[in-house]
Amino acid sequence: MSKRILIVAMNQHWPGISRLPSGLKRAGFIITTLCPKKSFLAQSVQVDDSIQYPIFSYSRSKIFYILAIYSLFYFKPDFIIPGDEEAILVLHRLSVFFGLIPGLGKWQQLIRNSMTPSEFDSIIESKELFVESCRDWGIRVPKSFSVSHLQQATQLVPELGGFPVVIKKDSGYGGSGVAVCENQEELNQKFREFQEPPHFTVLIKHILRKFFFISIFDSGEGLSLQQYIDGQVALAPFVALRGELFAINPMIKVLTYPTKTSPSCVVQGFENDEVFNFSKIVASKLNYNGFGSLDVMIENSTGKCFVIELNPRPIPTVHLKAEVIGNDLCVCLFNALNNIKQETHPLKLATIALFPNELKRDPHSPYIKDGYHDVPENEPKLMESLLKNHL
């Protein structure tokens, strides 16, 4: 039986979610979206119906909440997928809102059946709380500390094994809000950059808090200092339902662009029992529903896996088909929602050049020529938009 999916997206400039409709359509879903009018997601021809809003209404404002509520009533989805971290925050708050009004409990239940129970919202919204929770669950994580001022961060560096160290904002995605500091000078620079937003940002944040329904992610607070693990960065995109992990496609980040903490441009499938087991624990502990992905480090000297982050949403490789990576996560979600027996497939160790990231890094890249180049050939409008904005 076909299911109706609603993708909620708020970030106009985030391209990662734009490829998901092709995978969902292949799996058999009816696809609806709520997204900015000029976003990459709005360019997808795979979407069956869409509510698109002008960017001026995108300030996590009352206007957007009205649109989000209307989209639920209008589309009547069977499952909701958040397209970015802002959408996660909105859905969390909408769940609370629906729970306060008699007769709207079914919408609260729909949101929670598409994400995690409300008691885990703080863990989902905070990178540092997630790492602390993993430590409690017996998952190997780097040593880390929440820090509130530069002197404290400097004093903690020796406890993390010295430089380099990793500094992180408590929220952010796509490589934003993360930096590797090789020395004290870089730590000083990044700490001030992360903690002290420009004056106009402070002013805008104050206005939003005063006049609108919800405070935005706070870019001026919530920093952590983390032990640097010398190793390879890996991703573990997965799909789960009611806390049961149905499929996972681990992959190594072969190349990122433009920095080490930037989004991937080349990935390669790989097998790792610890990655699978840690993902299974996370899905179970959070009673997870939908797409997610662990960011992990595979230590060079030991081969041990360290979990460093959870992306509680689809990442840009979730749409890949089984012939390319091993498990079709979109088909797995369709089967899980329809109680169809899952067929797991051997993981494939293919090298994948992600479009348009690798083309931007090197138009003559051997990975484009010799690997699988993930070009949206059946999406000419989307392909043109991605090329125009990223090259």
Q: 120-150: per-residue pLDDT in tens?
A: 999 999 999 999 999 999 999 999 999 999 9
Determine the pLDDT at residue 319: 97
Predicted local distance difference test score (pLDDT) of residue 204: 54
* pLDDT over threshold 90, residue 301: yes
> Contact at 8 Å (CB) between 265 and 360?
yes
* Mean pLDDT, range 26-50, rounded to an integer: 97
Mean pLDDT of 240-255: 97
Question: By percentage, how much of the chain surpasses pLDDT 90?
Answer: 80
- All CATH 3.30.470.20 domain ranges of the chain, comma separated, are 231-390
Q: Which is more confident, 332 or 207?
A: 332
For residue 186, pLDDT beyond 70: yes
Mean pLDDT of 13-25: 95
Give the rounded percent of residues in the chain with a pLDDT score beyond 70: 91
The mean per-residue pLDDT over the stretch 57-68 comes to 71
The CATH number of the structural domain formed by 143-227 is: 3.30.1490.20
Residue 206 has pLDDT above 70, yes or no: no
Asked if pLDDT for residue 7 goes beyond 80, the answer is: yes
Flag whether pLDDT at 313 surpasses 70: yes
Question: Domain 231-390: what homologous superfamily?
Answer: ATP-grasp fold, B domain (3.30.470.20)
Mean pLDDT estimate for the chain: 91
Arch. (CATH architecture) of 4-115: 3-Layer(aba) Sandwich (3.40)
Judged against a pLDDT cut of 50, whether residue 219 lies above it is answered with no
